[in-house]
Amino acid sequence: MDLPFYLRIHGLPVREERKLSARFHEKLKTMPIDELIPILQIAVGPVILISGVGLLLLSMTNRFGRVIDRSRQLSLELRSAKDVERDVVLSQLKVLSTRALVVKRAITMATVSLLFTAILVITLFVAAVLRWEAGLLIALLFVCSMVSLIAALVLFQRDINLSLAALKFELATRHRPGGSV
């Protein structure tokens, strides 16, 4: 259920499916170790990228959790807030809602980057085993991964900027006349 399953869902006839599967397994069995080592060396770069983006995702999900927790806390405060405090809490909730959306998009783009990188590693191995000329596909997968990562980083930076703007707003409203201290 490795290659045959993939071929079956793409509508290849069973006979063709078996030929390709047998050829794949035969080439894998006959590939000398000295041909496999350079492939592993090439695949190390994308694997390191996966690790780094994984750590970035951990940071993003932590920020997302903090935004959600703060939103829940402010929602509870909103119930007992008076008119002036209510407006401040509502504006903070609006900023937190925007931040949650931005971080969610950043997490999505980082995840897409990881998916492209994982497909890239698989493509490297399959192309090497089957001796495909997949240079264009490999380059395209890498570029897509990097573009997704750049988008994730830009969105992550946007969240940082929003959180600083929210902090400035909160400090300004708490220390002005009529604001709570």
Residues 85-138 pLDDT 10s: 888 888 889 999 999 999 999 999 999 999 999 999 999 888 888 888 989 999
The contacts found for 132-139 with CB under 8 angstroms, 24 or more apart, are none
CB 57 within 8 A of CB 111: yes
Dihedral of the alpha carbons of 31, 37, 51, 154, in degrees to the nearest 10? -90
pLDDT for residue 79 is more than 90:
no
Residue 60, Cβ neighbours under 10 Å: how many?
23
Angle between helices 33-80 and 135-174 (to 10 degrees): 20
Residue for token pair 């909103």: 78
Q: What's the alpha-carbon Rg for the chain, to the nearest Å?
A: 25
Q: Specify the pLDDT at position 27.
A: 61
Nearest Cα to 111, choosing from 151, 71, 64, 160? 151
181 pLDDT band (50/70/90 cuts)?
very low
CB 158 within 8 A of CB 151: no
Q: Specify the pLDDT at position 52.
A: 92
**Separation between Cα atoms, residue 30 and residue 25, nearest integer Å:** 9
State both tokens at 37.
């080592």
Kindly tell me the burial class for residue 118, based on how many C-beta atoms sit within 10 Å of its own C-beta (0-12, 13-18, 19 or more): middle
Coil vs helix vs strand at 145: helix
pLDDT digits (tens, 9 = 90+) for 3-62: 444 444 445 455 555 555 666 666 656 666 677 677 777 778 888 889 999 999 999 999
pLDDT for residue 147 is more than 50:
yes
- What's the average model confidence in pLDDT over 140-168? 94
